[in-house]
Amino acid sequence: MSLIEKTASELLTLQAEGKASAVEIAEAFLAAYSARESKLNSFMLAPDADAVRTQAKAIDTKRKVGQPLGKLAGVPVAVKDVLCTKGTRTTCSSKILDNFVPPYDAHVVERLKAEDAILFGKTNMDEFAMGSSTENSAYRISRNPWDVERIPGGSSGGSAACVAGCQAPVSLGTDTGGSIRQPAALCGIVGMKPTYGRVSRFGLIAFASSLDQVGPFAHDTRDCALLLEAIAGHDHRDSTSVNQPVPAYTQTLNQPVKGLKIGVPKEFFGQGLDAETETAAQQALKEYEKLGATLVDVSLPHSPYALAAYYIVAPAEASSNLARYDGMHYGHRTATKGDLIATYSKSRAEGFGKEVQRRIILGTYVLSSGYKDAYYIKALKVRRLVKKDFDDAFEKCDVVMGPTTPTPAFKIGEKSDDPLALYLSDVYTVSCNLAGIPGLSIPCGFTKTGLPIGLQLLGAPFEEEKLLRIAHMYESATDWHTKRPKV
């Protein structure tokens, strides 16, 4: 197995044993980026080769002289282009922020630097994280490494594709309604949405502030645990950041959960679920039974309403958050002369893509006078019921499991003219964000045509450690996570 196919943990071991240097690792991934990017379009902003080499040399020097090293020393980490990076463009894959250069780093980027990670480019995404396919980027369409004619998922499609395609060993994405777990499933890798408040949102350009969460992509659960350890924790600059100790996720990973009870919701195995996806998920559940787990029937009765509630709450918050992009303070400003209102309108019309405009209009409508109670307030009540469903379920089980997505990756352009069909890609993932609980997607098989299938694990608030241990049980008994596409 070549360097680029190794996990981050394996790369750390190679460095510690003197079998590979940070510079050699960096050069391997720079070469992989150059060779594969034209096929995948994973990145919004290419890795700065000079900066990557400088970081790698500094880490090798620290190792040589015996200085303490961070837990990600010499590991390239790609970062979704919705996270602020000091001195480097951060566009959210939108024309309206085409030339925006933040004067500060996002909290998670600060954490990566503190742990000696090598920052490795900014990944492509759906504009302002609004989408499920990465077809809504204003610049390029990312492609699935298992079949470049298909989507990698979204909105963090670039972050998923670059890991699956071995352009980086790990990456960061964000998850508002499934934007980490869904692309992880479609690209055959591990992706985690932590509990809301577990990872600081400082420096994350907001889509829907009560739903957004930063999380890791990796080839396996060990790397996922490693990256989560690095970025999790309290940050006083984020008022929603929870001040709880961060467990040593990597230290307990090999401890199976004894007496494991898995909740299987009937609502996740109904109409619209692809037959091969259902079979793979059911086989994964049988594998857990072989490992000693007990399957428990649970119900999430309000989950059929979660998608509708999400597409009211999220656009409403987006309408408010994106009001700041007015062509006056920063970002794109129209060259067309006119009065204040005309400048606002023209700047936003030129800067925002169709999907972003659609969600702003929808969000503004559901918040408007006469409609707020009928739509927005009602959606918040449904959100509370969704959360109660999970609370009730976790009294009977340790984890809720089911397929991450209803279908494997579809072809690029297949659903472009039908936004509602695209929204259904998130049917199993949005309830997790509404409830604020942690969710994890792990590979659990392939279709007959070689497309990855993901298994979703949902846990009680702040039980990321248990989720990772449960996922690692399955990973230890299977080899899906070791597969790599031929790009």
DSSP output for 360-381: HHHHHHHHSTTTIIIIIIHHHH
Of the CA atoms within 13 Å of residue 229, those in its CB half-sphere come to 20
Q: What is the pTM of this model?
A: 0.97
Structure tokens at 254: 């090999």
Pairing of strands 190-193, 214-218: antiparallel
Least confident of 210-224, 225-239, 329-343, 376-390: 329-343
Domain ranges of the chain: 3-256+463-482
Active site residue 378: no
Give 448-467 pLDDT, tens digit per residue.
Answer: 999 999 999 999 999 999 99
pLDDT score for 329: 82
Instruction: Give 348: exposed, middle or buried? Use CB within 10 Å, 0-12, 13-18, 19+.
Output: buried
Q: Using the CB atoms, write b or e for 80-102: b if 16+ within 10 Å.
A: bbbbbbeebebbbbbbbbeebeb
* Per annotation, catalytic residue among 133, 155, 156, 347: 155
Give 423-436 pLDDT, tens digit per residue.
Answer: 888 999 999 999 99
Give 95-143 pLDDT, tens digit per residue.
Answer: 999 999 999 999 999 999 999 999 999 999 999 999 999 999 999 999 9
* Per annotation, catalytic residue among 21, 42, 80, 133: 80
* Per annotation, catalytic residue among 179, 200, 241, 431: 179
Active site residue 80: yes
Segment 137-142 long-range contacts (CB within 8 Å, at least 24 positions apart): 137/44, 137/93, 138/93, 138/94, 138/95, 138/353, 139/44, 139/91, 139/93, 140/41, 140/44, 141/41, 141/412, 142/40, 142/41, 142/42
Q: Report the Cα 387 to chain-centroid distance in Å.
A: 21
Active site residue 155: yes
CATH superfamily of this structure's domain 3-256+463-482:
Amidase signature (AS) domain (3.90.1300.10)
